[in-house]
Structure 1
Amino acid sequence: MKPDALGFFYPEVDKEKCVDCGLCEKVCAFNDHYDTSFNFDKPLAYATRHKDMNEVETSRSGAAFIAISDYILEQGGVVYGAGYKDHFRVVHKRAVTKAERDEFKGSKYVQSDMNTVFRQIKKDLRDGLIVLFSGTPCQTSGLNSYVGKRLRTNLFLIDIVCHGVPGPYLWRDYLAYLEKKQGSPICWVNFRDKQKFGWAAHYETFKFVKGGVK
């Protein structure tokens, strides 16, 4: 996977190693023949909110992800979601405890780096673990295709309502701009501060090492 000018990752095919099997095209979710055999004939719609208001206040929506992932972890399963690496670079990570999972709380409106997560998930499924994966619709459909029918029984997918994701380099440059303006490194990020602004507003909050909040 290679980044473009905005930091979006795209696959780069090594023509010398490619055998023209066509599998990458065959399983792509953007094709008309994408496998939808696991879909319901009609969607089942529910509205949910976590009973613990602290979970709701520290989540972006109703904290359904927390309730579902709690159940998966209590069954001895593993959870994958978006967290941070290095200096707030958004990446997908693996969690086996609720403390590790809590890093995934709160939407991160940047394309995440999947790295080797798909391979890790396939290994977990082959090892007999229950796996929960949360990501964008593109990511969940891609994982669904990659895993294949035989391993899907223990794979649970949660996708978010996605309006498109900003480029990772745009996010990187914006952080650098804020730090230069404030004269201090950023030490905490909240993409949509519900505790400060409530449900309706959509404001990012940043805290700085030398003090100050923006």
Structure 2
Amino acid sequence: MIHITDPADCCGCTACASICAHDAITMQPDCMGFLYPTVNTTLCTDCGLCETVCAFNEHYDTSLNLPQPEAYAARHKNMKEVETSRSGAAFIAISDWILQQGGSVYGAGYTDHFRVVHKRATTREERDEFKGSKYVQSDMGKVFRQVKQDLRNGMIVLFSGTPCQTSGLNAYIGKKLCKNLYLVDIVCHGVPAPYLWRDYLSYLEKKQGAKICWVNFRDKQEFGWRAHKETFNLLKGQER
């Protein structure tokens, strides 16, 4: 069974929990809100699948890795898409094609009060929630299993996430189903803690005396390409 002794050996991708046929593994938050697998030893049959599928396993399959990275630069032709995206809106162009083929798109969105989670979209309107950087670890929930079910149903699937998340999903899906799976990961420098984000929102609301109703982790329209400043809209109409 999987056992995490060093937090650096786990990214919370949920591959281990998703592959467990007995649901013996649940993802539990630590004091900062980072999710780690916890094994119910009563349900566990010690089959070893959770360890095999872990992207931190030294035997992780790297056969598809290129000898050297191939670098390309791209920007969406529609400047409105660029202005409302954090970079060149390549994700929008790719996901538009996926949706035109009747596929599904998975990316980071919000639930509750701006808690970052991964979601499924089959329309552009649903997909647009995934626009923009969200500098927090996202809760994957049951998304890995949803992706596999879509692939089994013959759909093409686009999944966008951190390199750790895409690696975990790739290992979980396996070679038989990965033909119709498109993985898009971001250049990642690590993800801040979910509880840090939660407490920061609470601090701002207390300071401003109003509820936050809209957030932008990196407001390119207001501050330009080079700036990394957040924007928040408040229900009382103020903006900071």
Q: Secondary structure, in 3 states, of the residue corresponding to 1:149?
A: coil
Letter in 1 for 2:96: D
1:104 lines up with 2:130 in the alignment: yes
1:45 aligns with 2:71: yes
2:225 pairs with one of 183, 199, 207 = 199
Q: Which residue of 2 aligns with 1:36?
A: 62
Structure 1 residue ranges without an equivalent (≥5) = none
Which residue number in structure 2 is paired with residue 126 of structure 1? 152
Q: Say whether residues 1:15 and 2:41 are aligned partners.
A: yes
Picking from 167, 177, 185, the partner of 2:211 is 185
3-state SS of 1:106 partner:
coil
Equivalence for 2:188 = 162
**d(CA) in 2 for partners of 1:149 and 1:14?**
29
CA offset at residue 21 of structure 1? 2.0
CA distance, structure 2, for counterparts of residue 111 and residue 7 of structure 1: 9
Aligned to 1:142: 168
SS at match of 2:159: strand
Match of 2:91 in 1: 65
Q: Which residue matches 2:237?
A: 211
| AA in 2 matched with 1:210 | K
Structure 1 distance, partners of 2:178, 2:66, is 15
Q: CA RMSD in A?
A: 0.9
Describe the superposition over 1:80-134 as per-residue Cα deviations: whole angstroms up to 9, x where unpaired. 0000001101010000001110000001000111111011110000000000000
Write the letter of the residue equivalent to 1:203: K
**1:56 matches 2:70:** no
* Distance in 2 (alpha carbons) for counterparts of 1:40 and 1:75: 27
2:193 and 2:68 map into 1 onto residues whose CA distance is 34
Instruction: Find the aligned partners of 2:34 and 2:197 in 1 and give their Cα distance.
Output: 11
Specify the code of the residue in structure 2 equivalent to 1:69: S
Moved more, 132-141 or 32-41: 32-41
Normalising by the residue count of structure 1, what TM-score does the alignment of the two structures yield? 0.98
Partner Cα separation in structure 2 for residue 65 and residue 80 of structure 1: 11
Partner SS for 2:70 = coil
Which range moves more in the overlay, 22-31 or 104-113? 22-31
What amino acid maps onto 2:33 in structure 1? G
Distance 1:145 1:56 in 2: 32
**How much does 1:38 deviate?**
2.3
**Structure 2 residue runs without a partner (length 5+):** 1-26
**Which range moves more in the overlay, 114-123 or 36-45?**
36-45
Distance (Å, rounded) in 1 between the aligned partners of 2:157 and 2:83: 26
Query: SS of the residue aligned with 2:106?
Result: strand
Q: Output the amino acid matched with 2:139.
A: D
Q: Percent identity?
A: 75
Counterpart of 1:79?
Answer: 105
